[in-house]
Amino acid sequence: MRLRGLFIPVTNTDDFIWRMVKGCIQLGVVPNINNTINMVPVDHVALCTSLAAVTPVCDGMRVLHIQASPLPTFNSVLSALWRYGYAVEGCEYVEWRVRLERHAVEDNALFPLLHFVLDDLPTSTKAPELDDRNTRGVLQLEPDGVKSVDDELMGKYLGWLVAARFLPPPSRSDGSALPVMDGDGVMKAHGRRGI
């Protein structure tokens, strides 16, 4: 979203990834999960969609998958919490699951998803590999030209989520500073439950 020339990231706070981020902050622990996540910035998805709508269909092209390149992992996304000053420690998934079960209270962002995250998250969260040749053709990009979520963009997302009062500010002073989001009071977390 652009507001008076500023780029303001916006996200659905009821999304699994952001619930996972918030739940890990509340728990103070992040799990070691190296599975990939097909996490693509929405402005890039919008660009792909717009170009696909005005690009003539060639060679019978019907499906345009969008896949981040490189694909971020849960570890890369969740490690941003430590880098940006959140007091979280890492541990193996089984230990994280035990801690979450002990901490499972209704005010944790992961509470509505306990059945999913306590099952076997490393097995159930494997992102499929998508054939995005058609999308790259429409964009006329090489495979490494497709957008992905990197550390800098994660900082912007976290900064927005703090400004929208979805996440608390980082508690450690030795982390990288989050970008300051100036939305003149218009930022609000949007999720089905208002969390």
Give exposure, 28-60, as e/b (b: 16+ Cβ within 10 Å): ebbbbbeebbbbbbeebeeebeeebeeeeeeee
Angle of helix 151-163 relative to helix 16-27, nearest 10 degrees?
80
Q: Which domains does the chain have, with CATH numbers?
A: 2-163 (3.40.50.720)
Q: What is the mean pLDDT of residues 30-35?
A: 94
pLDDT for 1 equals 45
pLDDT at 32: 95
Average pLDDT over all residues of the chain? 81
Q: Is the pTM here over 0.85, yes or no?
A: no
How much is the pLDDT for 81? 96
Instruction: Check whether 67 has a pLDDT greater than 90.
Output: no
Do 39 and 149 contact (CB within 8 A), yes or no?
Answer: yes
Instruction: List the one residue out of 106, 94, 79 whose CA is nearest residue 24.
Output: 79
DSSP lists the bridge partners of residue 12 as 190
CA distance 184 to 195: 21
The top-scoring range by mean pLDDT among 43-47, 49-53, 56-60, 74-78 is 74-78
Taking Cα atoms as reference points, which of 86, 75, 72 lies closest to residue 147?
A: 72
* Residues 90-147: tens digit of each pLDDT: 999 999 999 998 887 778 898 888 888 888 888 878 788 888 888 877 777 544 456 7
Mean pLDDT of 50-63: 72
What percent of the chain clears pLDDT 70, i.e. is strictly above it?
Answer: 82
Position 186: which residue type? V
Q: Please, which residues bridge with residue 190 across strands?
A: 12
